[in-house]
C-alpha cells in the first residue's frame, strides 16, 4: 500500500526545509543508466575523481580507494572521462 502523502496543512510554510543536509536522503542514484566501474590494477588512489565529482558521490574506503556511492551517483561519467590512468569505465546500470 502507498504511504499517505502529507496534506497542504502539514507542509512547513513556503516549503521551507528546516533540516540542513536533507538532500543526502534523496536517492539520485536511480537516475543513472551507466555506472562507473573501477579497475584496481590501474588506480593509483590519486583522488582526482573524488575532487571533480559534482555530486560528492565518492567516498574513501579502508584501503584508500575511492568508492562510488551508488545511492547518489547519477552516472554522469565525468570521473571516467577525467581519470588520468584510465582506471574507470562506465558500464550499463543493472535495473
Partner 1 sequence: MGTRTGMEVSAAISEAVKLARAEIIAAYPITPQTHIVEELARMVADGELYAEFIMVESEHSAMSACVGAAAVGARSFTATAAQGLALMHEMLYIASGLRLPIVMVVVNRAMSAPISIWGDHSDIMAERDSGWIQLFAETGQEAFDLTIQAFKIAEDQRVSLPVVVNIDGFTLSHVIEPLVVESQEDVDKFLPPFKPVIQLDPDKPITIGAVGFPELYTEIKKQQNVALVESYKVIIEVWKQFREQFGREYHPIETYRSEDAEILIHIAGSTAGTARVAVDMLREKGEKVGLIRTRLWRPYPFGDIRKTVAKAKAIAAVDRCLSFGGPGGPMCSELKAALYNLDQRPFIAGFIAGLGGRDIMIEDFFTIVEETKRLLEEGQEDEYRMIGVRE
Which residues in this chain contact partner 1 in the complex, by CB under 8 A? 5-9, 11, 13-18, 20, 22
Residue (11 or 46) nearer to partner 1, CB: 11
Least distance (Å) between residue 27 CB and partner 1: 13
Least distance (Å) between residue 84 CB and partner 1: 35
Residue (29 or 36) nearer to partner 1, CB: 29
Grid coordinates 575532487 are at which residue? 51
Distance of CA 9 to the CA centre of its chain: 33
C-alpha–C-alpha distance, residues 75 and 64, integer Å: 22
Nearest to 70 by CA among 21, 22, 37: 37
Cβ atoms of residues 84 and 41 within 8 Å: no
Residue (31 or 39) nearer to partner 1, CB: 31
Amino acid at each position: 500500500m502507498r504511504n499517505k502523502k502529507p496534506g497542504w496543512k502539514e507542509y512547513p510554510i513556503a516549503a521551507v526545509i528546516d533540516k540542513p543536509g536533507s538532500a543526502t536522503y534523496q536517492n539520485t542514484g536511480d537516475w543513472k543508466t551507466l555506472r562507473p566501474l573501477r579497475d584496481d590494477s590501474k588506480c593509483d588512489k590519486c583522488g582526482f575523481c573524488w575532487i571533480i565529482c559534482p555530486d560528492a558521490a565518492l567516498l574513501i574506503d579502508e584501503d584508500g580507494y575511492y568508492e562510488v556511492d551508488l545511492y547518489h551517483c547519477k552516472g554522469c561519467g565525468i570521473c571516467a572521462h577525467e581519470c588520468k590512468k584510465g582506471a574507470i569505465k562506465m558500464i550499463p546500470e543493472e535495473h
